[in-house]
Structure 1
Amino acid sequence: MTRWSRREPRRWYRGAAVAAALLSAYGLGAATAETEPSRIEPASHEDGLLEEATDRIATSADQPVSRAELREAAISGMLRSLGDPWARYYPPQEYDDFTGWLNGDHKTVRPEPQRGDVVVDRAEDLTVVRVAVFTRGVGAQVRTGVSGSRAVLLDLRGNPGGLLDEAVDTASAFLEDGPVVTYERRGEPAEVISVTSPGDSRVPVVVLVDKGTASAAEIVTGALRDRDRAVIVGSATFGKGTVQEPVRLSDGSAVELTVGRYLTPAGHNLEGVGIEPDITAGSSDAEERGRTVLDGLTGS
C-alpha cells in the first residue's frame, strides 16, 4: 500500500506553481514533452581554461573588469591557496621598485630619508653599527666599519631582513670560519652556508634585537649566538625562519614564494619562535645595557 504524508500534496502544489510560472515566463507551450533537452557544450580555448574563464568574465560581467585585473586576481587566489603567509604577487613596476631598493638603486623608495642602511658611529673604545635592512653591499660596509674596533655594538632592532647573502657576509665579519646558516629546500640536500672570508673572531660583540628583528637579521643574530661570538641584548625577535624567492613572469610582474627554510648553526628553526635574548632589556635601555656588557667584556 502506498503511504502518503500530509506534506506531499503541498509539495506537488508548489511544483505545479513553479512549472506554471516558468511556462508563463517563457511563453505557453514553448517547451513540450516532444522538445529535446538543450545541450551546453563546453567551448574550447586555445590558451586553456583560465584564459577561457578570463574572457568569459571580462565580456559578461555586469561590472566592467579588465583581463589584467582578472589575471592578477587569479594569481593572488593561487598564492592564497598555498597557505603561505609570505607569498605575494608584485605588479611589474612594484617589483622593479622593490628589487631596485634591495640592490641599492632607488633609495627614494624609502618612506623617510635616512643616513643609510648602515650607520657607523666610531669612538676610541666602541664602534656602534646600526643596520636598517640587508640591501646589496651591507655586508662589506659592516666589515669595513668594524675593522680594528676594540668592541662592537651591532644594532639590529627594527631590521626586517633583506638579502640572505648580505646577512651571511655580515655575520662573517665576526667569524673566522665555519657555518653561518643551513638552508633547506624541498627535494634538495641541506646546504650549509659558511663564512665568506675570515673576519675578526676576537673583538667583543653585543647584538641589540627586538620584536622587529626578523628574517636575515635573525640569521646574523642566530649565527653569532650559536657560535658564541656575541651577547644578545633586548627582547625576543620576530621569528621568521623561511626564505622567499621571486619568480619573474613574462609581463615583468613576479610571484614571491617560500622556497625553503633556514636553521641556525646549532640546528634551530626560528619560524614562529624567534630568538630569546641573553639579557632582556626594553627599547629605552637596551643600548645602555649593551654598553655595560661590553665594558665588562673589555675590562673598561
Structure 2
Amino acid sequence: MAALLTAYGLGVATAVPAPSRVEPAAHDDGLLEEATDRIVTSADPPVSRDELREAAISGMLRSLGDPWARYYPPQEYEDFTGWLNGDHKTVRPEPEIGDVVVDREEKLTVIRVAVFTRGVGSQVRAAAYGSPAVVLDLRGNPGGLLDEAVETASAFLDSGPVVTYERRGEVARVISVTSPGDSRVPVVVLVDKGTASAAEIVAGSLRDRDRAVIVGSTTFGKGTVQEPVRLSDGSAVELTVGRYLTPAGHNLEGVGIEPDITADSSDAERRGRAVLDGLTGS
C-alpha cells in the first residue's frame, strides 16, 4: 500500500498510510479496549494492560475538573480505608502517637485531634467529660470521616443540627446531634489553614451554634464530600458526590472559616487559653 510521509518537529518523520476506502472492523469490546490492544501490541517501550487501564481511569477523572477526584489502586485503597478505620497505619510514614492526644490540667483540658478516623468522636466525648473548659485543637487536621466529625461536634451540643448534607439528585439531609453532649462547658477551637473538610464541619457547627470561640487563622475551605466507588479488581475511584453546609447555611468551599480571634500558629493556644480564662473567671 502506498504511504504518505509526514515530517514534523526536527528531523522526525513517520509513515502514514494513504487514505483507504476500507473501514476498520468494530472491536468486540469497544473503542477503549481496541485502543488498549493496539498500544499493547505496538508501543515501544512496552506497556501493560493494567498500566493503560489505570492511566485511562486517571485521565477520565482529570477530565471532570474535580481536584478531589482520584484513583486508588487495590493495595493503596485497602491501606487507606484500614487507616481511616483504625485497623492499621501503613499510609502515613511518620510514627503514630494517636489521632487524639489529651492533656488534662486543673483548669482545662486540651484535646488535639490529628484526623477524624474511626472512634475519634467517642474519644473526644470521653476526654471532654467533666472538664471545666476545653481547648479543641484542630490545627493541621485535614478531615476524615463525616460521622466522626458529627460525633465530635455532638460532644458539645445537647440537640439540633450539626451539618446539612446536599447530595446530587437527593433532598438535602440535616444531620443532627447523635446524643446529647455537654452544652455548657466553655470551648475554644484552634484552627489554621491546614484545618479542612470534616475538621471545618466541627468548627463551623460549634461556631454557628454559639458553642465555641474560634481562634487562629482562616481554614482551608473544603465544602465538598467525596465517596469511594469500589471497582471489581479491588481498586476504587473517589468522586465528589455532594457538599455540606454549616447549620447557618454557609458553604465553606473556597472560603473557609474566619476565626473570631486571629492568631498565628505559635500564639493560638495562648490566646485560646486567655479566652477561656475570661469565660470561666479564672
Please say whether Structure 1 and Structure 2 have the same fold, judged by a TM-score greater than 0.5. Answer: yes
Q: CA deviation at 1:49?
A: 1.7
Q: Equivalent residue for 1:47? A: 29
1:1-300 superposed matches below 5 A: 38-300=20-282
Letter paired with 1:184 = E
Change (3 A) 1:108 1:186: closer
Q: Report the more deviating stretch, 39-48 or 166-175.
A: 39-48
Q: 2:147 is paired with a residue of what secondary structure? A: helix
Larger Rg: 1
Distance 1:84 1:117 in 2: 28
Distance 1:270 1:201 in 2: 24
Letter paired with 1:90 = Y
Q: 1:285 is paired with a residue of what secondary structure? A: helix
Q: CA deviation at 1:63?
A: 2.2
Would the aligned equivalents of 2:204 and 2:246 in 1 still touch at CA under 8 Å? yes
Distance 1:108 1:255 in 2: 20
Letter paired with 2:266 = S
Q: RMSD of the alignment, in Å?
A: 1.6
Q: Equivalent residue for 2:11? A: none
Q: 1:193 is paired with a residue of what secondary structure? A: strand
Q: CA deviation at 1:124?
A: 2.0
Letter paired with 2:197 = S
Letter paired with 1:241 = G
Q: CA deviation at 1:111?
A: 1.8
Distance 1:180 1:199 in 2: 12
Distance 2:233 2:22 in 1: 35
Letter paired with 1:70 = L
Deviations along 1:159-205, whole A, 9 cap, x unmatched?
00000000000000000000000000111100000000000000000
Q: 2:201 is paired with a residue of what secondary structure? A: helix
Change (3 A) 1:184 1:69: same
Distance 2:217 2:146 in 1: 23
Runs (4 or more) in structure 1 with deviation over 4 Å come to: none
What is the count of residue pairs matched by the alignment?
268
Structure 2 segments unaligned to the other structure (5+ residues): 6-14
Structure 1 segments unaligned to the other structure (5+ residues): 1-17, 20-25, 32-36
Distance 1:42 1:269 in 2: 51
Considering fraction of residues, name the structure with more helix: 1
Distance 1:40 1:152 in 2: 76
Distance 1:283 1:92 in 2: 38
Letter paired with 1:247 = V
Distance 2:208 2:24 in 1: 60
Considering fraction of residues, name the structure with more strand: 2
Would the aligned equivalents of 2:79 and 2:89 in 1 still touch at CA under 8 Å? no
Q: CA deviation at 1:108?
A: 3.8
Q: CA deviation at 1:226?
A: 0.2
Q: CA deviation at 1:109?
A: 2.9
Q: Equivalent residue for 1:15? A: none
